[in-house]
């Protein structure tokens, strides 16, 4: 381990994304700017008897375009998505793993997880067991199921022998994995980290479980408008699927190889609600603490923040609690910032949400444009901030943050700053 008296600076040099509105970071960003909804009737299975019959599925994605049949046989869809997004991020970063020495690859971490993991293979294998008995259980069942297996696949694929694991914290998973890579890099343990999350829960059990919780919107007659964060008529979130992966790199390592730098990662904040297994703290105390911790870690003042990509799931309780937390942290400056929820377009990607929304946040920082919160038409007096409704807005963005919260009371907030050499 390398010892550093001062934490090393960490930058973003690569991004990969599979989303319901685009299968690359550029396609994703273009769709955000167009205010395109990814919600549509479910095609993965027959949803006729479910209360919710729509979701934000990936579109035009064929794993055979990216992976060979032997690889696909060993991967649940969530792992396929994660590996493809990681491949994109590595290519985007300009890293060439086959030209790296083993000692260099020993200092590359892979920290990519999933909030739920292989829910489809769990369903399929259970059905096979019930129909045919234990002899039909696949030897790939457990390796396809476990949420950490994406990191394993990528480590093997590129011979990265640095830390190889994931955090599982429900819908905060992506942010937690980014945060772990950030902190390990600051301490001098690694030089590069692939961090993020992936999810493929648009399935019989995924939709069925969230329907049982009454967490999903039931606007089956107009699915494209169902995800409507901060709108008074919001009635639940829309389940999405996909993956997001970032390449984190120490500044000195990125400069040494002449890498393109998208942004600097400057802070992470975490907290627990200590309130309820699924409902947020009604006053937003846990989210408040996470953002306060992020500002402290990043050595930022509330008025330094220009844009906040909110967790904003389109649930009646969640949007109100997060709005309260923003006011708690930022005071009067809460009304000067731009905020938005890109879940209005992508739906909620659960364990992939934090990473995909980090990419949206970085893109906003790079382009000085705030992506919109679409589908707004009914004001909610409890949600009275500038959520950038319906149209993107140009503004100078120097520092942007992204929130991700999860069942169990997991709260995370990450901060990105435009890169300067000072």
What are the residue numbers of the active site?
171, 311, 348
Euclidean distance between CA atoms 88 and 380, whole angstroms: 40
309 CB burial (10 A radius; 0-12, 13-18, 19+) = buried
User: Pairing mode, if any, of strands 307-309 and 399-406?
Assistant: parallel
* Contact (CB, 8 A) for 201 and 118: no
| Phi, psi (rounded to 5 degrees) for 393 | -135, 130
Which DSSP helix (H) or strand (E) runs through 418? none
Q: Which two tokens stand for residue 23?
A: 């299968």
- Mapping DSSP to helix (H, G, I), strand (E, B) and coil, where does residue 352 land? helix
Euclidean distance between CA atoms 44 and 54, whole angstroms: 10
Euclidean distance between CA atoms 59 and 20, whole angstroms: 6
Q: In the chain, what is the straight-line distance between the N-terminal and C-terminal CA atoms, in Å?
A: 26
Radius of gyration, alpha carbons of the chain? 20
Contacts 24+ apart (CB under 8 A), 387-391: 387/229, 387/230, 387/310, 387/312, 387/339, 387/340, 387/341, 388/338, 388/339, 388/340, 389/230, 390/35, 391/35
Euclidean distance between CA atoms 221 and 226, whole angstroms: 9
Residue with tokens 């949420």: 147
Euclidean distance between CA atoms 347 and 355, whole angstroms: 14
User: Pairing mode, if any, of strands 192-199 and 108-113?
Assistant: parallel
Euclidean distance between CA atoms 116 and 311, whole angstroms: 18
Residue with tokens 């696909």: 72
Euclidean distance between CA atoms 361 and 373, whole angstroms: 13
């Amino acid at each position: 381990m390398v010892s550093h008296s001062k934490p090393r600076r960490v930058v973003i040099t690569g991004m990969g994304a599979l989303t319901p509105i685009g299968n690359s970071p550029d396609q994703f960003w273009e769709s955000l700017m167009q205010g395109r909804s990814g919600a549509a009737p479910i095609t993965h299975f027959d949803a006729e008897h479910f209360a919710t019959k729509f979701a934000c599925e990936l579109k035009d994605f064929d794993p055979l375009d990216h992976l060979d049949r032997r690889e696909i046989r060993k991967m649940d869809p969530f792992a396929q998505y994660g590996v493809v997004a990681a491949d994109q991020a590595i290519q985007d970063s300009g890293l060439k793993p086959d030209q790296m020495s083993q000692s260099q690859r020993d200092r590359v971490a892979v920290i990519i997880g999933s909030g739920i993991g292989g829910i489809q293979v769990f369903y399929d294998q259970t059905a096979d067991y019930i129909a045919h008995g234990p002899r039909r259980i696949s030897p790939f069942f457990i390796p396809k199921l476990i949420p950490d297996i994406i990191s394993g696949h990528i480590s093997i694929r590129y011979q990265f022998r640095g830390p190889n694991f994931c955090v599982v914290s429900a819908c905060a998973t992506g942010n937690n994995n980014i945060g772990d890579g950030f902190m390990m890099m600051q301490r001098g343990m690694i030089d590069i980290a692939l961090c993020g999350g992936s999810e493929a829960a648009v399935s019989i059990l995924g939709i069925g479980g969230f329907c049982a919780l009454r967490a999903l919107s039931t606007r089956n007659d107009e699915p494209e408008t169902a995800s409507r964060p901060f709108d008074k008529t919001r009635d639940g979130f829309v389940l999405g699927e996909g993956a997001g992966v970032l390449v984190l790199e120490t500044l000195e390592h990125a400069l040494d190889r002449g890498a393109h730098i998208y942004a600097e990662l400057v802070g992470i904040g975490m907290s627990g609600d200590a309130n309820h297994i699924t409902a947020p703290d009604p006053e937003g105390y846990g989210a408040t603490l996470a953002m306060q911790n992020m500002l402290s870690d990043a050595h930022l003042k509330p008025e330094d923040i220009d844009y906040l990509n909110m967790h904003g799931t389109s649930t009646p309780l969640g949007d109100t609690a997060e709005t309260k937390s923003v006011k708690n942290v930022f005071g009067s400056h809460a009304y000067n910032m731009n905020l938005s929820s890109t879940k209005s377009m992508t739906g909620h990607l659960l364990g992939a949400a934090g990473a995909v929304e980090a990419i949206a946040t970085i893109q906003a920082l790079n382009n000085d444009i705030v992506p919109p919160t679409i589908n707004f038409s009914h004001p909610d007096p409890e949600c009275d901030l500038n959520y950038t409704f319906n149209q993107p807005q140009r503004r100078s963005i120097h520092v942007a943050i992204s929130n991700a919260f999860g069942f169990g009371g997991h709260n995370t907030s990450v901060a990105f700053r435009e890169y300067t050499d000072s």
